[in-house]
Structure 1
Amino acid sequence: MEITLILGIVVGAVLGLTGAGGGILAVPALVSGMGWSMQQAAPVALIAVAGGAALGAVEGLKKGLVRYKAALVMVISGLPLTSAGVRVANILPQRWLLGAFALVMLIVAGRLLRQACMAASGVAAEDAAWVRLDSTTGRFHWSWTTASLFVSIGALTGFMTGLLGVGGGFVIVPMLRRFTNMSMHGIVATSLLVIALVGSGGVVAAVVHGIALPLQTTALFALATAIGMLLGRKLASRIVERHVQLGFSLVLILVALGLIYKATFNS
């Protein structure tokens, strides 16, 4: 019980500090801390991450930061792919899933390190937005390009959610930053809504495919994650974003190396 609470608070705090990306630590925390397999850990992690994301999404909705249509398109295109991801996860050997998760963590860590270095050197990010918000209405001008972008993001998010039990913020946030001109606050708020809904779909898909949820442990982990997220959000305003990115990227690298070791020698 104590381990579950500690893991949940730590994961929640990182989720609150990093916005939409901290949930990527939930699965390895459960795999290492509870001794579970990836398949066991994924739906429990998704419940906690989806619940934490829902709290952030409600705040974003109140502030008018969420782009409803974009989020809806991503959810509709992502939900069917969660089931496909769960099916693939049930087929793949444990060491392959661990290796895939480690690779994803290293990619995210590399992206965060690049952003932190650019911020430290004062280099502005390249403006290569494919889809732009209208400056007068604050809404997207919908076209085939706009729809295709959000469908692609949603589909990839849904598949990765089912496959690895991650919320998908590591997919949504960088792609929205790269291909749209949304503000970072709008990106995170929209991403959190998609994570909450697609993550819930991933939990349903896992249960349908026969994965049993330990109800008491799941409830404790989800509650602790929510508490940790609230604490993390309070701390976020007091810490320089670049320092958070650097610290989080180093944690991801260390955890990824641990997963690679586990996949190589213990699976």
Structure 2
Amino acid sequence: MILVLGALIIGLSLGLLGSGGAIITIPVLIHGLGIEEKSAIASGLIIVGAISLLSSIKNVRNKTVNWPLFLQFGLTGVLGAYWGATLGERSPAILQLLVLSLLMAIAGIRMLMSMPKAPPTTEHIPWTFSLIAIGAMIGFITGFVGVGGGFLVVPAILMFTHISLSGATATSLLIISVNALIGFVGYFTAKTAYPIDFQWPMIALMIVIGTVSSVLGARFGGRLPRTLIVRSFGFMLITLAILMIGNLIINELSLSHWRKI
């Protein structure tokens, strides 16, 4: 039940917002399904990467993906994701989860803040160092903490370009898929001291349910007030961040107590 509900929420987030899927996936895997932290981070990358890629097929067919923008983010994002995963698989899980929790809180707060009115839109994207550098940074975060980075990609696109919101969301989804899948490759091929257990039947089921949910979310999302959608996910992210930080603190205090005995 938790698996199905979690996959539905992950897919809806990606379909409605073009972001937020992976940042929800890891808490679901760890706290909902009891999967070990490193395995959850690596599994989250393949789950969200596959859902995003399959959901992007329709966007590509509808020509809503901005390819020049995708290339600017993607070229450096791929390198950043791989090196982020390489560093992540060597880092303590508590550090990765702490960074993830803080990013969740920041993303949630941003979602609750009032959104500025969008400037006139254009689909023309010049090549700029800012976009290339941001792509590399987001790719690194993707690999290191196991998130797709969509909650960073969409605001960055809207901040540094004037493309439409639908174009930003569609392009973000494809960027997420590439970054997440490359990050997964980094974990899958790494020779690490931390054993990673991929539960493939569970991963496959979440991908199927999440993809269907994402397609439905993209189809019916336009009928709902966008402010309501964004703020609902904002509250959820902040709540999850608080729970994860609280759980990390409790676990560390428990370990410290047992070390003293």
Structure 1 counterpart of 2:242: 257
- Per-residue deviation, 1:194: 1.1
Say if 2:95 is the partner of 1:96.
yes
CA deviation map 1:193-216 (0-9, x unaligned): 111112111111110114442211
Q: Secondary structure at the match of 1:20?
A: coil
Query: TM-score, structure 1 length as denominator?
Result: 0.85
Q: Which residue of 1 aligns with 2:257?
A: none
User: Is 2:232 the partner of 1:239?
Assistant: no
Give 2:180's aligned residue.
199
Residue 23 of structure 1 is matched in structure 2 by: 22
Question: How many residues were matched structurally?
Answer: 248
Change (3 A) 1:236 1:38: same
Whole-Å separation in 2 of the counterparts to 1:235 and 1:73: 30
Residues in 1 aligned to 2:100 and 2:107: alpha-carbon distance in whole angstroms: 11
What's the CA shift for 1:150?
A: 2.3
Bigger mean CA offset, 196-205 vs 33-42: 33-42
**Which residue of the other structure, out of 96, 117, 129, is the alignment partner of 1:124?**
117
Q: What's the offset of the Cα at 1:167?
A: 0.9
Equivalent residue number for residue 163 of structure 1: 144
Q: How does 1:109-148 map to 2 (within 5 A)?
A: 109-114=108-113, 117-118=114-115, 124=117, 133=122, 138-142=123-127, 146=128, 148=129
Deviates more, 1:192-201 or 1:247-256: 192-201
Equivalent position of 2:171 in the other structure: 190
Secondary structure in 1 matching 2:81: helix
SS at match of 2:224: coil
Which blocks of at least 5 consecutive residues in structure 1 are unaligned?
Answer: none
The offset of 1:95, in angstroms, is 2.4
Please give the alpha-carbon distance, in whole angstroms, between the structure 1 residues aligned to 2:108 and 2:179.
23
Q: What is the Cα deviation at residue 149 of structure 1?
A: 2.1
TM-score by length of 2: 0.87
Q: 1:224 aligns with which of 209, 216, 221?
A: 209
- Asked if the contact 1:169–1:191 (Cα under 8 Å) also holds between the matched residues in 2, the reply is yes
Offset from partner CA, 1:97-154 (integer Å, 9 cap, x none): 221111101111111111xx34xxxx635x6x9xx95xxxx43234xxx1x1221122
- Give me the whole-angstrom Cα distance separating, in 2, the residues matched to 1:237 and 1:183: 14
Give the alignment of 1:25-40 within 5 angstroms. 25-40=24-39
Say whether the 8 Å CA contact 1:153–1:171 is kept in structure 2: no
Within the alignment, does 1:58 sit opposite 2:43 as a pair?
no
CA deviation map 1:205-241 (0-9, x unaligned): 1101144422112111211211222332344123211
Q: Which has the higher contact order (CA 8 A, sep 6+)?
A: 1
1:29 is aligned with what amino acid? V
Contact 1:156 1:171 in 2 (8 A): no
CA apart distance, 1:250: 0.6
Provide the rounded CA distance (Å) in 2 between the counterparts of 1:227 and 1:64.
Answer: 20
Name structure 2 gaps, 5 residues minimum.
253-261
CA-atom RMSD in angstroms: 2.1
Partner of 2:198: 213
Q: Which residue of the partner structure matches residue 172 of structure 1? A: 153
CA positional deviation for 1:18? 2.4
User: 2:108 touches 2:235 (CA, 8 Å); kept in 1?
Assistant: yes
The Cα shift of 1:89 comes to 2.0
CA contact (8 A) 1:16 1:22 kept: no
